[in-house]
Structures are given as C-alpha cells and as structure tokens.
C-alpha cells in the first residue's frame, strides 16, 4: 500500500517540501524539494507555434509499453478519470472537452500489488520538422502528483528520414544526465508534490538538437514516457512545440518574511508579535535565448498602509536563476495587505509580449489577536491550495499522531485558546489533546514535564464539525480553584501540537493543511509515535491551520473541580512503568487511570500511598483521577 514520505527536519536546513495524505507510514524516508513557488495560472504567451495537438484524435499518437515489464497503457479520450484508491482530479485543461491523455498508475499499481515496474509511453504518430529552429520548447498543460519511485520523462526521438527512430531504455534509476534527448518533465519535484490543475509546463529541448543533420532535424518526435513502481497519475493535454522567445524572464516565486524568521511566511501576525524588519524578494529565471540586462523586482503592497520594495541586478544569463531581494523596515497596521511582485528587464518590460509570467501575488494580514501560519481565506483569488492530514492519513498511526505548528514569540504575551480548522469528514467523538512545548523538546519527543501546557482531552462535537473548527481553551485553574487563567508565555519558539485520537479509526479527524505556500521544514511538523526508525519528528513543509488566539481571557472556573497539588503527589513523572502516589492524609481515596481514549485501565481504592504499574500498557499519556472527601485531584502522567 502507498506510503507518505516526509523530510526529516534539520535545524540548519531551510528546505521547502510538500507532504500529502497516503495510507501507510511503515517506512519513512527523507527527500528534499528545494523550491515551491506560488503556482502560476495558465498563461498564453506570444510565440511561434511549430506543432500543436489537443488530443482530440487518438490516431495522432502511438501508445506503447514494455511488454516484458508491464501491461499499463496510456489512454486518450474525453472524461477519463484516475480510478485507483487515491485518485487525483481530472485535468481541467483549456481543451479538456475534446480529449486528453492519461496514465493511471494508481489503478494499475494497486491491482498489481504495487511492486511491478511500469514502463509506458505515448508518442507523436508523425514527426515535426525543426530545421531552422535551434531553440525550441515542448509545452503542455498537465495535472500530476508525485509519489516516490516513478519518473515522468519527455523524450525526443530523432529519426533518420526512413522511419527508423532509436529510443533510450529508461527505468527510474537511469542517469539521464548522460542522455542528451531525455528530460525530466517535473525537475525538482519531491515525493507528494503536485501541480496546480492545470499547470503549464515548458521543457527546453534545444540541447537535444545540437549537432543534428538537416535530415534528422526534419524527423523529430516527442514522447511522454512514464516509468516507475506505482505512482498516482499523469494527465497531459494541449501539447505544443514552440520556438523559445528571445526575451523572457519569469517570476518563479515571491516572498515576504521577517528578516530573522528563516523564511517562514505567516498568514496572520498579531500586533503584539510584529517585527519591524522584513525581507522581500523573488526568484527570477531567464527562460529566453538572450541574456537579460538591468533586471529589477518591484513589490507593491496595498493595504491599511501602502509600501513598496525594489531590488535589481545588472545581468541574468540565459537559462539561469537569481534571487532579487531587499531588507525593509516596515510600520504595518491592522488589516490585509495585497502584494504584487513584478520582474522586468530592458527587453522584457511590463507591457512586453511575454510579460504575463512576470508577476505573482502574495497576501498577508496584521491582526489584533490571531497568530496563524496558514493564510486560508486571505490568499489571492485562484491560488489557494488546501490539503489535510489526520488520523486516517496513515493506517498504522490512527491514534497518537501529533500535527504541530511552530510560532515564534518575540515579546511576552498571553494565549487564551487554540483553534484548528478540521475537515468536513471529521467524525464527532474523535478526541484531541493540545501540547504547547518549546521547539527543542518537541523535536526530541520530550512531551512529559517539558510541555508548558497540556490540555484536557477534548472531544469533538457535531457542532465543531459543522463549524469546521475546534477551539481548545489554554490556561490553568488558579491556585484557589476559582479562576481559569489564560496562559502567560515568554519569548521563544514554541510548537503547538494536537495529538489525534480516533478510537482505532472509528472516529477519524483531519486537520486542514494550507499548501498554497511552501514553508521551511521546521515551521509545520508531525510527531510519529512508535517510529520504527526512532526518528519520530518529521516536517510537513506547508502550514497546518492550527491558529492561536492571544490576549488575557481569564474567566471564573466553572468545572467544579479543584486540583490540590499540595495534598497528593505523583512521581516520577514521566516514568518507564511505575508511578508512586503519595497523599498527605490517610483518607480513603478512589483512584482511576484512563488511557488517551478514556478507557479505564486501572481502578482501585487506597489510603496514604500506593503504586500504579503501567509496564504492560502502551507508551503515551494517561490521566489519573483521585476522589476523596477533600475533593477531586486530576493529573496527566507520561509513560515513556
């Protein structure tokens, strides 16, 4: 069955990755996805079109596979869908109504146990003549989601004018750097990464044409080649071969973040935690044939107060990428800021023929009391991409998975609750426990006494599911038991983690994941309990919608429970199995110990002192309740 692979976090790394839901997590591997730009919409550029095909006729293509490897074939037609266990959406390309191509690895790999090597392709039935065009690009609209071992290639077939075409023998381990006519369709994609639907892909194939004779240049074919072991699916439509433009610089990704914030872009920042120094920039690629001079970035923000940022470089050579950025001191006010990042050069101007890929938008909000890594609801129209992770994401972690978001506090503050956006498929009576813990303790799995706050077990209600969120109070009962006091917090980096419990998959819960903007690996993470590799901590790479509500909201305590830590103590806590319970009086007391699901695992009566033994129970959090004439005592204990 499919697995999800997440990037192992390194404190010194700044990798941006994407994680996606799958069904098992029996093995964990590391990968790096170096850039996750905000995804551009399909744009029409002015260009010389040398060949085009909308997949309206299956006769324009030759479908084939390596019979010794598999029986998986591409399909061509309208209304085709991925039919596997984990289908991706049908492509919504420009001419989807007249047909498109699809390879459904998900359905084929699932039916064949996921172990059969797939080797399948679709090839132009007739060649194109590229004499006189040394700089060309294969362009197509696509929808694709990466899994792990599959490789989507663009292969250029070079004929000899007599019908003979030699094709390379490809497999997922092939070193294509030694093969001049094979190109990755999605370079840089990591496991779980996916395109927008549709996304315009352009692959420069000029290097495959170098040194060819006029006969060979008049006999050129393009093949979409899929090889690997059980991926998701690949949709292709509206394929063109175009002449590379002379002048075409592209804004690949744009960003604004706190200068000392290691690249994290918070969707909402409260005034109390607002920095003054920001880094504003973009990654700029020269796709054109010619070097580009005097390349500049202008970022304009419109909001409660308007501001702009400018940076430039004198030269970007052909087929190269540079970063343009500047540091700014900003005085921001309450409200949403809408930013537009535009790059230009001497020969690719804002009104130029190829200017449609020069701009990207980025929004953020300044709030009175909400702190959120995610920007859900504020992203520019058409750019928001949402996913989720939860108790049904991994079949071997239905209970105990922790989804967490890291927040930096630069000033003293107070937290009164945490709100998490949940999926519509969340089932009432699923349960959640909130941990607030410093970043180093989280990465080392030291949740016990290292947590600065642990909530009571929160049971999700039908109203929560209807609302689309849960809200967990943060704070502690006052020493006299009369108040529930909001939690004071000091400067530092803290993870806010939600431990999810579904009762073995009966009541599943999913946390919404904002995948619109790639984030540094440490900013959003999971804790995987009982990890066979003893790692536990893995980054998420995007943004769990786990939000903080700040401000002092101390209220009268209405629970009726007074916890008297002066009369009863439990030690050691955490423990490897045995816990000592000591009371300052000889009152008869009723003791119960419950696991994370609320099931009673121990029940007894004692006076003065006793020992509870959890050696035969699973590691994790348990709740001890002790009742006597003096009141009710409740404490969480941690079995390591």
Residue 352: the pLDDT is 56
Radius of gyration, CA atoms only, the chain: 28
Residue 183, SS3 per DSSP: strand
Count Cα atoms within 13 angstroms, Cβ side, for 280: 29
For residue 132, the tally of other CB atoms under 10 A from its CB is: 9
Q: Is residue 117 part of a domain?
A: yes
CA distance 640 to 530: 11
Q: Could you tell me the pTM of the whole model?
A: 0.71
Residue 446: the pLDDT is 82
Residue 108, SS3 per DSSP: helix
Beta bridge pairs of residue 501: 431
Domain total in the chain? 4
> If we measure between CA atoms, which residue out of 415, 386, 391, 420 comes closest to residue 405?
420
Buried b (16+ CB within 10 A) or exposed e, 314-330: eebeeeeebebbeebeb
Beta bridge pairs of residue 389: 511
CA distance 106 to 230: 6
Give the range of the structural domain holding residue 297, as residue numbers without chain letter: 249-371
CATH assignment at residue 490: 2.60.120
Same domain for 530 and 602?
no
Overall residue count recorded for the chain in this entry: 640
**Residue 197 DSSP code:** S
Q: Is residue 236 part of a domain?
A: yes
Same domain for 149 and 265?
no
Same domain for 601 and 543?
no
CA distance 198 to 121: 21
Residue 269: the pLDDT is 97
Q: Are 549 and 415 in contact (CB under 8 A)?
A: yes
Beta bridge pairs of residue 634: 625
Residue 374: the pLDDT is 97
Instruction: Dig out the tokens for 184 from the structure.
Output: 């990755």
CATH assignment at residue 262: 2.60.40.10
Same domain for 209 and 257?
no
Residue 9: the pLDDT is 28
Residues of the chain with pLDDT under 50: 1-46, 560-566
Q: Are 339 and 307 in contact (CB under 8 A)?
A: no
Instruction: Dig out the tokens for 143 from the structure.
Output: 């929808």
CA distance 239 to 243: 13
Q: Are 367 and 413 in contact (CB under 8 A)?
A: no
Residue 424: the pLDDT is 94
At 466, which helix (H) or strand (E)? helix 462-467
Q: Is residue 17 part of a domain?
A: no
Same domain for 485 and 634?
no
Give just the sign of the alpha carbon dihedral 476, 479, 483, 488.
negative
Q: Are 372 and 49 in contact (CB under 8 A)?
A: no
Q: Is residue 495 part of a domain?
A: yes
Residue by residue, what is the 3-state secondary structure of 495-532? EEEEEEECCCCCCCCEEEEECCCCCEHHHEEEECCCCC
Residue 96: the pLDDT is 96
Residue 558: the pLDDT is 59
């Amino acid at each position: 069955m499919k697995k999800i692979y997440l990037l192992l976090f390194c404190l010194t790394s700044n990798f941006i990755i994407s994680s996606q839901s799958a069904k098992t997590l029996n093995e964990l591997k590391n990968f790096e996805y170096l850039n996750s730009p905000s995804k551009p919409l399909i744009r029409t550029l002015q260009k010389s079109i040398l060949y085009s095909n909308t997949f309206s006729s299956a006769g324009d293509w030759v479908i084939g596979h390596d019979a010794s490897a598999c029986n998986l074939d591409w399909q061509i037609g309208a209304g085709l869908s991925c039919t596997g266990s984990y289908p991706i959406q049908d492509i919504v390309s420009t001419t989807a109504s007249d047909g498109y191509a699809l390879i459904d690895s998900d359905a084929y790999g699932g039916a064949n146990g996921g172990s059969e090597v797939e080797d399948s392709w679709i090839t132009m039935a007739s060649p194109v003549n590229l004499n006189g065009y040394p700089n060309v690009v294969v362009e197509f609209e696509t929808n694709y989601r990466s899994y792990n071992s599959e490789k989507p290639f663009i292969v250029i077939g070079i004929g000899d004018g007599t019908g003979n075409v030699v094709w390379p023998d490809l497999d997922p381990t092939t070193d294509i750097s030694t093969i001049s006519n094979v190109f990755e369709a999605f370079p840089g994609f990591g496991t779980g990464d996916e395109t927008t639907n549709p996304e315009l892909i352009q692959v420069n194939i000029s290097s495959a044409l170098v040194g060819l004779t006029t006969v060979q240049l008049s006999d050129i074919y393009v093949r979409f080649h899929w090889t690997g072991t059980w991926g998701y699916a690949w949709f292709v439509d509206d394929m063109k071969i175009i002449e590379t433009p002379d002048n075409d610089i592209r804004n690949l990704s744009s960003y604004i973040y706190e200068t000392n914030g290691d690249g994290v872009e918070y969707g909402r920042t409260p005034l109390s935690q607002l920095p003054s120094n920001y880094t504003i920039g973009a990654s700029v690629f020269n796709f054109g044939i010619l070097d580009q001079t005097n390349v500049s970035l202008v970022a304009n923000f419109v909001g409660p107060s308007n501001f702009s940022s400018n940076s430039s470089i004198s030269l970007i050579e052909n087929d190269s990428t540079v970063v343009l950025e500047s540091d700014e001191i900003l005085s921001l006010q309450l409200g949403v800021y809408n930013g537009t990042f535009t790059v230009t050069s001497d020969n690719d101007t804002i009104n130029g023929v190829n200017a449609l890929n020069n701009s990207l938008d980025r929004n953020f909000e300044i709030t009175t009391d909400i702190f959120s890594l995610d920007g859900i609801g504020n992203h520019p129209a058409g750019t928001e991409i949402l996913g989720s992770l939860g108790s049904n994401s991994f079949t071997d972690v239905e209970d105990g998975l922790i989804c967490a978001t890291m927040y930096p506090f630069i000033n003293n503050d107070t937290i009164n609750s945490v709100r998490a956006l949940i999926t519509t498929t969340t089932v009432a009576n699923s349960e959640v426990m909130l941990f607030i813990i410093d970043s180093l303790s989280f990465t080392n799995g030291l949740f016990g006494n290292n947590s600065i706050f642990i909530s009571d077990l929160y049971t999700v209600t039908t109203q929560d599911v209807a609302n689309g969120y849960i809200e967990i109070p943060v704070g502690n009962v006052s020493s006299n038991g009369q108040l529930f006091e909001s939690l004071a917090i000091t400067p530092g980096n803290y993870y806010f983690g939600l431990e999810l419990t579904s009762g073995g998959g009966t009541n599943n819960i999913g946390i919404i994941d904002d995948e619109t903007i790639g984030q540094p690996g440490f900013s959003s993470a999971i804790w995987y309990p009982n990890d066979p590799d003893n790692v536990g901590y893995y980054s998420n790479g995007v943004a769990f919608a786990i939000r903080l509500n700040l401000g002092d909201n101390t209220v009268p305590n209405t629970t009726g429970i007074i916890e008297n830590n002066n009369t009863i103590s439990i030690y050691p806590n955490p423990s490897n199995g045995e816990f000592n319970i000591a009371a300052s009086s000889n009152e008869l007391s009723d003791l119960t110990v419950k696991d994370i699901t609320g099931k009673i695992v121990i029940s007894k009566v004692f006076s003065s002192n006793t020992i509870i033994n959890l050696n035969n129970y699973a590691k994790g959090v348990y709740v001890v309740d002790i009742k006597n004439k003096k009141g009710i005592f409740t404490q969480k204990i941690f079995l390591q």
